[in-house]
């Protein structure tokens, strides 16, 4: 069976922000298990990206879409659904500077907007010398037994796998960050606060490594599932229309922020109509309360889903602000 088109690159604008990005063959490095599905057509944009499976067998708990079908379904715009096999898509810089970033695109936990968010951002990070991994995570509504924990398990495993592959890909195991957008911001917020939670049993030696990211960047993130800020697709998918107080507390990121949470960068527009700006404000306050280093940038305009930012708009400043912050913290060295 031929995998659905993987249109991961969103045109010349995405390429322009990362002139040093290097396409990699879609073949697993020696030592990784076979991928188990047909490769995408060689003519499909993005088909040269290397695919790294997250799990050596079935993901924890089982369930999900038909494992005999494609790894995941993808539209021409790079919108992913039907994730049968969670994985990482690898984007390697021409001149690595020793750090890596696992990126989670948004989509309300109903889809993953790889083409709009994860891949353009990964190429931009390549231009800074950062190895980028776009995370294709399980969607809770697609029949996974682990339910709302399924994407968090994938994010934790992705950080561990990135740490285990540091020598192979040429970066340092103590310079691995996470970056998330919208629902992906909720996911990476969960990964950066729940890294010590025993959400799944170890499946191999890679799970002996820490799942704690070294930095986190949450861009227009969904953080809370509590009213009155709970009018998001993420809340409905994760805890339902009439959630219990326990479920709401469990999956609201700001309620579970330990002092060991990594230094965090927040960016959001004040006019965001979906993940309202109170999400970042709540996370900022929770991080400050346990003395975790945090930097937050709120922009007057930008709405939701601005990705790298429309040129000339206030929100377009965040990539430069993040790069400055990351260099100051020693995460990016150039």
Closest CA to 189 of 176, 201, 177, 172: 177
Closest CA to 197 of 140, 141, 239, 253: 253
DSSP class of 117: I
Q: For the chain, what are the domain ranges?
A: 50-329
- Inform me whether the pLDDT recorded for 288 exceeds 70: yes
Flag whether the pTM goes above 0.75: yes
- How confident is the model over 223-244, as pLDDT tens digits? 999 999 988 999 999 999 999 9
Q: 7-16, 73-82, 145-154: lowest mean pLDDT where? A: 7-16
Q: At 30, is the pLDDT very low, low, confident or very high (cuts 50, 70, 90)?
A: very low
Report yes or no: 129 and 22 within 8 Å, Cβ to Cβ: no
Superfamily of domain 50-329: Alpha/Beta hydrolase fold, catalytic domain (3.40.50.1820)
Q: At 61, is the pLDDT very low, low, confident or very high (cuts 50, 70, 90)?
A: very high
- Inform me whether the pLDDT recorded for 93 exceeds 90: yes
- Inform me whether the pLDDT recorded for 248 exceeds 90: yes
Give every CB contact of residue 40 below 8 A, 6+ residues apart in sequence: 2, 3, 4, 5, 6, 26, 46, 47
At residue 186, the pLDDT reads: 98
Report yes or no: 155 and 192 within 8 Å, Cβ to Cβ: no
- How confident is the model over 194-207, as pLDDT tens digits? 999 999 999 999 99
Report yes or no: 320 and 297 within 8 Å, Cβ to Cβ: no
Question: What is d(CA 4, CA 318) in angstroms, rounded to the nearest whole number?
Answer: 33
- Inform me whether the pLDDT recorded for 322 exceeds 90: yes
How large is the average pLDDT for residues 178-200?
97
- How confident is the model over 111-134, as pLDDT tens digits? 999 999 999 999 999 999 999 999
């Amino acid at each position: 069976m031929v995998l659905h088109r993987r249109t991961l690159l969103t045109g010349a604008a995405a390429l322009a922000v990362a002139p040093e990005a290097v396409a990699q063959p879609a073949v697993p490095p020696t030592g990784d298990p076979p991928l188990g599905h047909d490769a995408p057509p060689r003519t499909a944009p993005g088909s040269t990206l290397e695919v790294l499976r997250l799990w050596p067998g079935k993901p924890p708990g089982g369930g999900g879409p038909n494992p005999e079908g494609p790894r995941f379904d993808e539209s021409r715009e790079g919108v992913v659904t039907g994730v049968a096999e969670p994985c990482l898509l690898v984007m390697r810089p021409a001149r690595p500077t020793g750090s890596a970033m696992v990126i989670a695109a948004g989509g309300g936990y109903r889809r993953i907007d790889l083409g709009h968010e994860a891949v353009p951002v990964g190429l931009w990070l390549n231009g800074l010398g950062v190895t980028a991994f776009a995370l294709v995570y399980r969607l809770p509504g697609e029949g996974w037994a682990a339910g709302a924990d399924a994407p968090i398990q994938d994010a934790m495993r992705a950080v561990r796998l990135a740490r285990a592959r540091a020598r192979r890909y040429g970066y340092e195991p103590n310079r691995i960050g996470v970056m998330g957008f919208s629902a992906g911001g909720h996911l990476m917020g969960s990964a950066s606060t729940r890294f010590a939670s025993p959400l799944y049993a170890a499946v191999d030696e890679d799970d002996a490594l820490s799942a704690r990211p070294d930095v986190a960047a949450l861009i227009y993130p969904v953080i809370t599932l509590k009213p009155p800020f709970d009018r998001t697709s993420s809340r409905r998918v994760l805890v339902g229309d009439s959630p219990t107080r326990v479920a709401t507390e469990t999956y609201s990121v700001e309620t579970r922020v330990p002092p060991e949470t990594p230094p965090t960068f927040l960016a959001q527009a004040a006019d965001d109509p979906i993940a309202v700006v109170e999400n970042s404000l709540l996370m900022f306050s929770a991080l400050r309360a346990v003395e975790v280093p945090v930097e937050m940038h709120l922009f007057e305009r930008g709405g939701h889903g601005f990705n790298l930012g429309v040129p000339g708009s206030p929100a377009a400043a965040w990539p430069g602000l993040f790069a400055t912050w990351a260099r100051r913290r020693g995460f990016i060295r150039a």
